[in-house]
A and B are shown apart, each in its own frame.
Chain A
């Protein structure tokens, strides 16, 4: 493991640990409104100041990190599994299945999924707790975000199907699910990893966009998405630099995630 990967590992572990310790590090909680100090700059009481309604920004960053770091990978896992199922199998089976799967993923990719999400959110029940709303949001993202990854996986699986070692395995009498599980799937692993890691920041940013459209995490629960919304209307970086902390954290964590990928996974 080179130094960069070690450093990335430390950053991810540190951020995860700190966010998990939010209850102890920020006992005021993410929802309490200090109405006498809305939009306050950093101080001894509020290390990162307060947001527009007086909530402690440090607490919100910690809790938001916890939610986003837990649920964005969960959504990425759902979408990668779906992609592996559709793309991997179609590529392995080839022929009509591959054409069908590609047609289906193309159709799915061409759908205006943002509008699809709006429609899905509009029909959901209104009286759900903020925690349920965040679960719903990321689940929807996971269920709708598989198509691009499936396309990549189908191409990789198709290439594997025609590779020498798979042909040799076939010649040795290996067929069906066993061939897929023993020879194809392990070789798809780098692509799967890459798709998984790529999906995480995509889902975090998607959640931020959804927040603007009203489909994100319900108040008062924070997420990186809702924290990034605070940057709306920020005219200058010098104005209130502490408001950039969620953005910096997002960049650092996402970069660390990318650095954790092995060379093979990156090239995949």
Chain B
């Protein structure tokens, strides 16, 4: 009888354990994550990805050899178990994992890596992901050492080579589904143009959690195409969306007021807003203005006359930091911590201008030839924060007697003016930095670069400091030694601060919103801030319905 009782008790205990485990498993599994893409994805081909929407889909569907952990910023193995870079930074060898299958069931091997690299480097494809690997003239060669081992050789040294593979989604060499066969946690199941993209769980995804359960936990991810941020916010508030990857500061504060548990401020992001003056020799601007813009004292004075704290406080409601330079303090390794953001010092700014022969007369600043200081700042229309910043800079500079005309233009006209016709005086834009490595800024810093905003495509450097930056950028790109690279790029940041060719304004904070129905979310500053660990997220539909 007693035995019967104890057996029954044990059975009941087992039953309770079973239900608890089942409940836990149920909680971990399933669910649909819903959020918005702000534009139509231009492609599902990972090699051709160039826009934010396609980047998000590639992140969720693409399997990569190595992945930069968005939280720690360290590189972690994914499809590659390990890798080694040659001393001359021209070759990288990957050791691949075994037994991995694409979403369509075809096996993954070194052949697929070789195929992906050859496709990326095909000049006819014009792949921007491939462009990052173009270190010099010559071809990129791949050598399959074994089915699980491959060496990729580049014609010239590529510093930070392994980091570039974070963006390379491996494609199948043999699958008839082409880009439809993926190695990432999700696969594209349905695409309704202008409406939504539905991603389903990849049943063959290779990763497992600590308990040995196959990832991802989610059944599907629904990406609604919604360019209107007001609608996106309304839908989030109604509980129709689970997260917003990047929230404007206005919306952030309003949401924080009503539901503080839903918003996340991860601190300064890698993105920055900046202003620069046109220094192009052939630009159709008066010669005396070109002389102002080419004067380091003039540029530094403008920089000192801008109240960055006010920009941060008023335009971004405090969700921004005064920018120091081309590298945000959020970039833990590459930021030059000796540098500080330019302080607001209108008196010092006026002193600098007077050193250059400028003088104030009846509240107007004149140069030494008697020309009143007046210039226009062009920026893109439709960006409220940028327009507000321009208005505040207009007032700040007005205090020095400088008349600023703010001109907002549609984006294509703006780009044409600043990069083709050079028909502008000063411009203000933002830089969306997705890479940590300074190699991604090569075209900004090399005087021959297309994105050397203030004076692009120079045949040879026009100033000594630009020549020095060219030398330093090439030096850091041609060595694999992180310490030497850091030293070189630290000096580039110092020169940028001394010469102020670009006047850095603010680093916007990474603001996001995540529904309390989502478990496992840990918003970070690196893109994609909220769903970087999508494979480990779960959604509780009951919690969503109760919002």
Contacts and interface: CB of A to CB of B under 8 A. Distances in A.
B283 to A, nearest CB: 12
Interface in A103-157: 118, 121-122, 126-130
Contacts of B375: 127
A9 B424 CA distance: 47
B406 A218 contact: yes
B409 A122 contact: yes
Given A127-B425, A215-B381, A219-B394, A118 B413 contact: yes
A235 B234 contact: yes
Nearest to B384: A232
Contacts of A186: none
Q: How large is the interface on A (under 10, 10 to 19, 20 to 34, 35 or more residues)?
A: 20 to 34
Nearest to B234: A235
10 contacts: A33-B391, A53-B315, A121-B413, A129-B405, A212-B381, A214-B408, A214-B409, A219-B394, A219-B406, A233-B230
A53 B314 contact: yes
B380 A235 contact: no
B403 to A, nearest CB: 8
Chain A binding surface, main DSSP class: loop
Nearest to B395: A33
A188 to B, nearest CB: 38
A175 interface: no
Contacts of A35: 310, 314, 392
A218 B234 CA distance: 31
Contact of B381 (A31, A33, A214): A214
Contacts of A121: 409-410, 413
B381 A126 contact: no
A126 B314 contact: no
Q: Lowest 4 CB-CB distances: which A-B pairs, in order?
A: A214-B381, A214-B408, A122-B413, A126-B376
Interface string A183-215: 000000000000000000000000000001111
Nearest to A124: B407
Nearest to A52: B388
Nearest to B409: A214
B413 A53 contact: no
Contacts of B310: 35
Nearest to B314: A38
A76 B251 CA distance: 38
Contacts of B394: 219-220
A129 B407 CA distance: 10
A31 B410 CA distance: 24
A212 B233 CA distance: 20
B250 interface: yes
A235 B230 contact: yes
Interface in A214-253: 214-215, 218-220, 232-233, 235, 239
A31 B396 CA distance: 12
Contact of A219 (B233, B378, B391, B409): B391
A127 B407 CA distance: 8
B209 to A, nearest CB: 39
Interface of B: 229-230, 233-234, 248, 250-251, 254, 310, 314-315, 374-376, 378, 380-382, 384, 387-388, 390-392, 394-395, 405-410, 413, 416-417, 423-425
B378 A53 contact: no
A219 B389 CA distance: 11
User: In the complex, which of the residues A53, A126, A129, A130 has the most CB atoms of chain B within 10 Å of its own CB atom?
Assistant: A126
Nearest to A218: B406
A42 interface: no
B413 A218 contact: no
Contacts, number: 81
B388 A126 contact: no
Contacts of A41: none
A117 to B, nearest CB: 10
A214 B410 contact: yes
A233 B250 contact: yes
A164 B229 CA distance: 59
Contacts of A233: 229-230, 248, 250-251
A128 B378 CA distance: 12
A36 to B, nearest CB: 10
A169 B395 CA distance: 64
A218 B424 CA distance: 16
Contacts of A118: 410, 413
B327 to A, nearest CB: 29
Contacts of A232: 230, 384
User: In the complex, which of the residues B229, B375, B409 has the most CB atoms of chain A within 10 Å of its own CB atom?
Assistant: B409
Contacts of A126: 376, 378, 405, 407, 423-425
B382 A212 contact: yes
A128 to B, nearest CB: 7
Contacts of B230: 232-233, 235
B23 to A, nearest CB: 38
A213 B410 contact: yes
A122 B414 CA distance: 8
A220 B382 CA distance: 16
A260 B272 CA distance: 53
A38 B310 CA distance: 10
A239 B387 CA distance: 23
Contacts of B391: 33, 53, 219-220
B388 A53 contact: yes
Contacts of B381: 212-215
A219 B382 contact: no
Contacts of B314: 35, 38, 52-54
Contacts of B416: 122
A38 to B, nearest CB: 5
B417 to A, nearest CB: 8
Given A213-B382, A219-B390, A232-B384, A127 B254 contact: no
Interface in A25-72: 31, 33, 35, 38, 52-54
A57 B391 CA distance: 15
Nearest to B374: A127
B271 to A, nearest CB: 20
A50 to B, nearest CB: 10
Nearest to B248: A233
A218 B406 CA distance: 7
A42 B294 CA distance: 45
A209 to B, nearest CB: 11
Given A53-B388, A121-B409, A220-B395, 18 more contacts: A33-B391, A33-B395, A52-B315, A52-B384, A53-B315, A54-B314, A122-B409, A122-B417, A126-B376, A214-B380, A214-B410, A219-B390, A219-B406, A232-B384, A233-B248, A235-B230, A235-B233, A235-B234
Contacts of A38: 314
Contact of B405 (A33, A54, A128, A212): A128
